Amino acid sequence: MVADTESFDYLEPPRASDEIGRLGPYRILSALGRGGMGQVFRAEDTRLERIVALKVMNKKFSATPHSRNRFIHEARALAAIKHDNVVTVYEVGEHSGTPFMAMELLKGHSLESISRGEQRWSYPKIINCAIEISRGLSAAHARGIVHRDIKPANIWIEEPTGRIKILDFGLALANSPGDAYFQRGAVVGTPGYISPEQSQCEPMDDRTDLYSLGVVLYELFCGRLPFTAKTLPELLIKIIAHSPQRPDQVNPQLPKPYADIIVSLLSKEPRGRIRSAAVLETLLRSTQEMVENESHAAMQIVTLNPTTTLAKATISNPKFGSTKRLSNQPVWYVGTAISVAMVLLGGGWWLFSGGKIVSKPLPAQNVAVAKTPDVMAASLEPLQLSDVLAGSLSIVEGQQARFRMQLTNTANTRGVDPRVANAEAKVVAQIRTFLKQSGKPKQAASAFPKKLSINALPAPGRSNAVDIAFETLGLPPGKYQAIFELQSPKGGKVSEVSALFTIEENLASNDLLGFELIRTSEGNGADAFVKSGTKEVLGGKPYLATQHGDSKGKQADQHLYLRFDVNTRVDPAREIDRVVLVLSLAAGGLRGNSTINAHEVPRDFSARWKEVGDHHLTWETSPSVGGVESLPFLGQVEIANAGGSLESVDDAIRIYSAALDDYVRQSDGPVTIVLVRKSSGALETRFKSREGNAAGSPALAIRTKQ
């Protein structure tokens, strides 16, 4: 046991024979392992009489105030996460200068046994694991916590539930990025799983964790890491500069849509990756459904002669650790096994990767394969696609596009009815989706062809509604034509219908790359709030508060006024492309949902008002006294801050619109915007002001055309 050979001098002496020592109220029972920044113990909380995993920061790091404070700060943020897929932190504290975290002690094992090939998982199980990891990361990222060391050892499979838990957020902290390259588990991560930006000691954000998750998925699907090398410098060079072999080239049985997701996660540039864990979870779910549907559509019917017997045939599957004799099994059982084998031989995706079906050769005369005649495009001509009934005319990049159209059967006699002509076919037709931008060739959308069976076809003279959905992840913003082609199962074109739609730039969560931020703390900028029924001067406070008054007068209306000195930072000769109003929530406000509207303030008012002193702003001296509803509307944002997570993320609140773009474009001086809360609530919605936090004060993010 570790305790027999290692001294933990930061522990108090043991008081019982079953202890290593004490740390405050915790009885240290045994050492479980070592992390990048400290030791993990099995301990008993004497106050609650429960067994916990106690993670203690070692002296090397706890002696540094910056590392100690950062450990405690981020550990407390982690403790606020209550999520099924993140290990629960019971307590964060410090005893005699030694920081610690008390966490739930889990039963089970890490994902390492799977990644090392000691067990084999089916594809659906791997994807379900990835979905749960994405959920846990999304919960952490919402609180501004980046794990920085996602790897199989930090993914726990809880027993007996099988639930996935992410471990060791708190130990992924350090004050020296370089330490990680020589000590596993430190802040920058574990070699082999670190992202290109980690390899170069560059700033990291949520997408660093998504890269590492991509490496984990690559390893689970392919049985090896994307990059390996004999030396650390060689490995880092590969991570930074080389492209890994596509996972579906390493494992040809891997469905291409899964491989595409992994390729996106392993993008060298963070902006090229799937933008968030929440988006990844949605994409994994929809892709899994599409893959399963495609696999089911590929199944072939295999029938056996009822008199057939299979002497000594066996089915072997190492994944389940068993080999079964089939000689005494009923014919339907054997037929099922052979059906699956035929799917593999026919190129269908077998979702249970790692299993192998083995049987002794069968005499050809004993097996009859039901051959389905090919469906010819000419036999489908009475089917017509028409009338896109509804669709996504404008969607934000990364969201799913959805369209509904009509499929009409124009057959006027039974002889030409496609349902009659192709009655034996399992799949009669398909609808493929293509996208086209002006001046560019059409390309296939990221959607499997929609398979149509006999039952999906309308009767002669009737129409059915058909729904098509596809992902827009990775498509650049712009105008598109969606083309829906009705085809035979082998791709013969029958008819088509199209619809126009626009993919809008996702300014709500994308990085504001190429934008210039002008804050109220710069130049002639200012921020203040006013309150109805009072002459109190509320400028100069460390926060900005907006409130929606009630009809009984128990709550007053409070409006925010923000002035931006645009001309000090934007070249008048350059045309403004897009504008985003950016705000940061302050602590002490509403922990819930609130809706904020932005309005344009008259230009002649913008330059003269002051937070304090001459021309100071109050309710009576502001446009609020006459009502702001008549002022031009610039946009709205709905804020979801139920857990307070947004208070730790600067510039998380954004308002943007074409009206805001035009307002700033037409300005020849300072720009003033008034914010009004429209939702009710007993507490104010508070934002950071320039006095409270100049770096987090309200800003206009402006991008000019090149």
* pLDDT exceeds 90 at position 484: yes
Is 246 within 8 Å of 198 (Cβ atoms)?
no
Can you give 380-443 as a three-state secondary structure string?
Answer: HCCEEEEEEEEECCEEECCCEEEEEEEEEECCCCHHHCHHHHCCCCCCCEEEEEEEECCCCCCE
pLDDT of residue 5: 38
Highest mean pLDDT among 125-134, 470-479, 505-514: 125-134
DSSP-H helix ranges across 277-387: 277-297, 331-345
What is the reported pLDDT for 189? 57
What is the arithmetic mean of pLDDT over 468-488? 88
Annotation says 149 is catalytic: yes
pLDDT band at 600 (very low <50, low <70, confident <90, very high): very high
Closest of 277, 267, 329, 271 to residue 304, by C-alpha:
329
Of 341-350, 435-444, 670-679, which one has max mean pLDDT? 670-679
pLDDT in the model for residue 184:
35
- Mean pLDDT check: name the lowest of 78-87, 237-246, 400-409: 78-87
pLDDT tens sequence across 129-154: 999 999 999 988 887 788 888 999 89
Query: What pLDDT is stored for residue 705 in this prediction?
Result: 85
pLDDT score at 299: 52
The pLDDT assigned to 60 comes to 67
Confidence of residue 495 (pLDDT cuts 50, 70, 90): very high
Catalytic residue chosen out of the listed positions 45, 149, 387, 571: 149
Averaged pLDDT for residues 660-665: 93
Note the pLDDT of residue 226. Answer: 93
Question: What is each CA distance from 323 to 326, 350, 559, in whole angstroms?
Answer: 10, 19, 73
Distance (Å, rounded) from C-alpha 573 to C-alpha 579?
16
Range with the lowest mean pLDDT among 40-54, 332-346, 579-593? 332-346
The answer, yes or no, to whether residue 594 has pLDDT greater than 80, is yes
Q: Interior CA angle at 680 toward 674 and 681, to 5°? A: 110
Name the pLDDT band for 188 (thresholds 50, 70, 90).
Answer: very low
> DSSP letter string over 176-198?
-GGGGGTSTTSTT--TTT--HHH
Judged by average pLDDT, the poorest of 35-39, 45-49, 157-161 is 35-39
Classify residue 675 by burial, with Cβ atoms within 10 Å: 0-12, 13-18, 19+. buried
- Outline where 223-276 has alpha helix (H): 232-241, 247-250, 256-265
Average confidence (pLDDT) over 294-320? 42
Q: Largest alpha-carbon pair distance within the chain? A: 102
Regarding predicted confidence, which is higher, 390 or 672? Answer: 672
Whether the per-residue pLDDT at 36 is higher than 80: the answer is no
Mean pLDDT, the chain, rounded, equals 80
Q: What pLDDT digit, counting tens, does each position of 222-244 carry?
A: 999 999 888 887 888 888 888 89
Give the amino acid at 275. Answer: R
> Structural domains in the chain?
2-59+90-104 (3.30.200.20), 108-285 (1.10.510.10), 302-369 (no CATH), 377-504 (2.60.40.3880), 516-704 (2.60.120)
Of 308, 355, 305, 301, the C-alpha closest to 327 is: 308
Distance CA 466, CA 165 (A): 40
DSSP of 502-534, one letter per residue?
Answer: EEEP-TTTS--TTPEEEETTSTT-EEEEEETT-
Nearest to 497 by CA among 429, 428, 403: 403
Q: Is 318's pLDDT higher than 50?
A: no
pLDDT band (50, 70, 90) for residue 177? very low
| Cβ contacts of 241 within 8 Å, gap of 6 or more | none
Mean pLDDT of 368-387: 80
User: Model-level pTM?
Assistant: 0.46
Residue among 514, 648, 626, 633 at smallest CA distance from 579: 514
Q: How far is CA 33 from CA 3, 416, 603, in A?
A: 11, 73, 64
Position 354 confidence tier, pLDDT thresholds 50, 70, 90: very low
Specify the pLDDT at position 76. Answer: 74
d(CA 667, CA 451): 54
Q: How far, in Å, CA of 226 to CA of 398, rounded?
A: 26
383 pLDDT tier (thresholds 50, 70, 90): very high
Helix (H), strand (E) at residue 70: helix 65-79
5 vs 494: which has the higher pLDDT: 494
Query: How many angstroms separate the CA atoms of 290 and 5, rounded?
Result: 54
Q: Which residue has the tokens 């596809």?
A: 470
The string of pLDDT tens digits covering residues 428-462 is: 999 999 999 988 888 888 777 889 999 999 999 99
The pLDDT of residue 697? 94
Flag whether pLDDT at 201 surpasses 80.
no
